[in-house]
Amino acid sequence: MKQASALFVGNTRHVEFRHVATWLEQHANMIHTKTLADARKQCLLSKTGFDIIVVGASRPYQYLTKDINTLRQAAPLSRLLALLGSWCEGELRSGHPWPGVYRTYWHQWPARLGPELDKLMKGQCPVWGHALTMTPAEEILYRQKQSAPLTSGLVVVHAADREAVGSLRDACQHLGYATVCSHGKQPLEIHGATAIVLDLRLCNEIDWQQLHKLSQHYRPTPLLVTLSFPRHDVVQQLLSTGAHHVLSKPFLVQDFAWLLNQITQAAPNVIGQAAA
């Protein structure tokens, strides 16, 4: 299958962006530039253009709106995607986000955009292909109409919070999985599970111990951790302690479905990354 063409603008060695750059190199024909000025030159020199232009911003106001618009003028047929670091969280409320640019955070990649890139390569319209004026609320309404493919298997859900257990159970059952749920921190005597989902709230010493115990008990069944707005150092520690993947909350059901499918298929280029 033909790969998409991508232009990555920014620091590919930044700790929050390294896994994204690696993923793009594996799934697209990626060219890298460090500055918007160099990116504009690449767009003007390119004979075929780029399907997507990913601008990595680790902090607010790293790139000005006028410079983003200048880049857009050089590549009017390419869609701009903002890859944002943790410092940019809250920018929609108190900052000045770039208009007409699809936004995603480093911890939402690749679950948020992986399936959309697949759509592009199949000739379907990805989420960033809709109107530039589409708001986050309208995106959610659009995604509600997109049905995730049904699957089968058994997912074991561990969560101390009853609401978290309920939401994860409902998401699994919506996707076709059977579920066994536990509010306790001890592993269950269950065999043949497709995946383990562990919801964490604080990432304190007790949580680290629980993750280690569950990963050892259920091995080699893949374990997915859900966590609100994870930081890079926390994600790395979770992965080294036994998690196969970390999904950022709040997440979309499509994110959850895509990641469960990836880890149960044991895709080597997805295991051991942060996503959501």
The pLDDT, as a whole number, for residue 149 is 72
Give the per-residue pLDDT at 266.
59
DSSP string of 98-115, one letter each residue = PTT-EEEEGGGTTTTTHH
Mean pLDDT within 56-67: 94
In degrees and rounded to multiples of 5, residue 273 shows phi and psi of -130, 165
In this prediction, residue 1 carries a pLDDT of 61
**Average of per-residue pLDDT across 109-114:** 89
Domain boundaries, the chain: 4-144, 154-274
Q: Note the pLDDT tens digit of each residue in 260-272.
A: 988 887 533 333 4
Closest CA to 168 of 219, 110, 225, 115: 225
Give the span between the Cα atoms of 10 and 38, in whole angstroms: 10
Would you say 248 and 227 are in contact if contact means Cβ atoms under 8 Å apart?
yes
Ramachandran sector of residue 121 (left: φ over 0; alpha: ψ -120 to 50; beta: rest): alpha
Lowest mean pLDDT, pick from 84-98, 175-189, 230-244: 84-98
Answer yes or no: same fold for 4-144 and 154-274. yes
pLDDT-wise least confident of 125-129, 145-149, 174-178? 145-149
Give 224-233 pLDDT, tens digit per residue: 999 998 999 9
Which class is 154-274 in CATH? alpha beta
Answer yes or no: pTM beyond 0.75: yes
Confidence of residue 201 (pLDDT cuts 50, 70, 90): confident
pLDDT computed for residue 270 by the predictor: 39
Identify the architecture of domain 4-144 in CATH.
3-Layer(aba) Sandwich (3.40)
